[in-house]
Amino acid sequence: MEGSSFFSRLKSGLTKSRENWAQKMGAIFQNRHWDEESLDAMEENLIAADLGPKATQKLIDLLRRQSPGGAEDLAQEMSSRLQQAMVEVLQASTTPPKTLPLSVRPWVIVFLGVNGVGKTTTIAKLAAQYRSAGKKVLLVAADTFRAAAIEQLEAWAKRVGVDVIKHRAGADPSAVVYDGIQAAKSRGIDVLLIDTAGRLHTKVHLIEELKKIRRVISREQPDAPHETLLVLDATTGQNGLQQARVFKEATDISGIVLTKLDGTAKGGVIVSIQEELRVPVRYVGVGEDVEDLQPFDASQFVRALFEK
Ligand SMILES: Nc1nc2c(ncn2[C@@H]2O[C@H](COP(=O)(O)OP(=O)(O)O)[C@@H](O)[C@H]2O)c(=O)[nH]1
Ligand SMILES: [Mg+2]
């Protein structure tokens, strides 16, 4: 996966957000000075761009401490300072995804999230990426709630060229997970990707099910799961945050996958997600292709949002 084409995909996926952003920020500095009034206007726009109150306050505080002096192009100066501040805020809670080389085998990743956020698609994309990096990948269909969910994972697996461990619809997810781990061990699998059903009809039920899955995994492999990734749909904006809080209460989340950034003008929500949850974003989804799932890199992301 070559770096520059990766970046252009990210940029093209963030087109709506970038245009929205440029329009908002451009308007602020026309005929304005660097003063409380322009900072207030910026604060309003950051909130409107879904950065959330906490992150916005942090950014405004960072900016308030700096005076641009006699900058010739005030808009440009303010924009580059805002860029720097955003990278700073994002990096403060970022750790790079634990990708290759993986130290243990099988490397176990559990995917959580409510229906429709993009879990299965993300698993397929990641499976394809690991596979093209020469890793042996196995999928586990632990979303047993609907038959269609199992079939969808199977269809993806076929396209990507990996196997799936599955049971019948309605089966106990933990039993599928158990079989998945056994199969991974006996087949010398490098990466085991576990798809779950993230239905939230009661929190107690969710907690119980996630606990059970976790218990089975760590009983079979004491250091696992190595990652528990919560998948969130960027187009749901602040609602995604609410879902995330419920999952975070239910279980340990090691990272976030933010999908469908290509479908929203509010890509800035990534800042509020990290800031509010204090859980690092590991991957971003910016389209339907396999290459449209990318490890999250704060400075690249911010550059893609600002760059014309
Ligand atoms: N545009 C876009 N669509 C996505 C992305 N990720 C997932 N999707 C779509 O979101 C829909 C739901 O995805 P799915 O993987 O079935 O969600 P699940 O219910 O969480 O397993 C599908 O139509 C996917 O193609 C993304 O990054 N960009
Ligand atoms: Mg699914």
pLDDT digits (tens, 9 = 90+) for 31-55: 567 788 888 988 998 888 888 888 8
Same domain, residue pair 16 and 162: no
Instruction: Quickly state the pLDDT bin for 66 (edges 50, 70, 90).
Output: confident
Distances (CA, A) of 169 to 91, 125, 138, 153, 219: 41, 24, 19, 13, 24
pLDDT single digits (tens) 215-244: 999 999 998 999 999 999 999 977 888 888
Instruction: Quickly state the pLDDT bin for 276 (edges 50, 70, 90).
Output: confident
**Is the beta carbon of 196 within 6 A of some atom in ligand 1?**
no
Same domain, residue pair 221 and 253: yes
Which of 29, 57, 92 is at the close of a domain? Answer: 92
Residue 202, pLDDT score: 75
Looking at the domain assignment, is residue 100 inside a domain?
no
* CB burial string 83-96: b at 16+ within 10 A, e below: bebbbebbeebbee
Same domain, residue pair 88 and 14: yes
Same domain, residue pair 23 and 129: no
- Give which of 149, 124, 110, 129 is closest to 288, Cα–Cα: 124
Looking at the domain assignment, is residue 156 inside a domain?
yes
pLDDT single digits (tens) 252-274: 999 999 999 999 998 988 988 88
Ligand 1 midpoint to CA 295 (Å)? 17
Residues 259, 284: Cα–Cα separation, whole Å = 6
Atom 10 of ligand 1, nearest CA residue = 118
In this structure, the number of other CB atoms found within 10 A of the CB of residue 72 comes to 7
**Is the beta carbon of 113 within 6 A of some atom in ligand 1?**
yes
Domain that holds residue 75: 3-92
**Can you tell me which residue has the tokens 């996966």?**
1
Write out the two tokens for 146: 């609907």
pLDDT single digits (tens) 129-181: 999 999 999 999 999 988 999 999 999 999 999 999 999 999 999 999 999 99
Which of 61, 92, 123 is at the close of a domain? Answer: 92
Is residue 270 exposed (0-12), middle (13-18) or buried (19+ Cβ within 10 Å)?
buried
Lowest-pLDDT range, 10-19, 69-78, 204-213? Answer: 69-78
**Is the beta carbon of 237 within 6 A of some atom in ligand 1?**
no
**Is the beta carbon of 285 within 6 A of some atom in ligand 1?**
yes
Q: Edge to edge, what strands does the sheet with 137-142 contain?
A: 163-165, 137-142, 191-196, 107-112, 227-233, 255-259, 281-285, 293-295
* DSSP string over 123-138: HHHHHHHHHHTT--EE
pLDDT above 90: percentage of residues in the chain: 54
Same domain, residue pair 142 and 203: yes
Section 17-26 average pLDDT = 85
- Contact residues for 252 (Cβ-Cβ < 8 A; gap 6+): 228
pTM of the predicted model, to two decimals? 0.92
Distances (CA, A) of 176 to 39, 209, 221, 230: 54, 13, 15, 20
Instruction: Quickly state the pLDDT bin for 1 (edges 50, 70, 90).
Output: very low
Query: For the chain, how many structural domains are there in total?
Result: 2
Same domain, residue pair 49 and 179: no
Instruction: Quickly state the pLDDT bin for 99 (edges 50, 70, 90).
Output: low
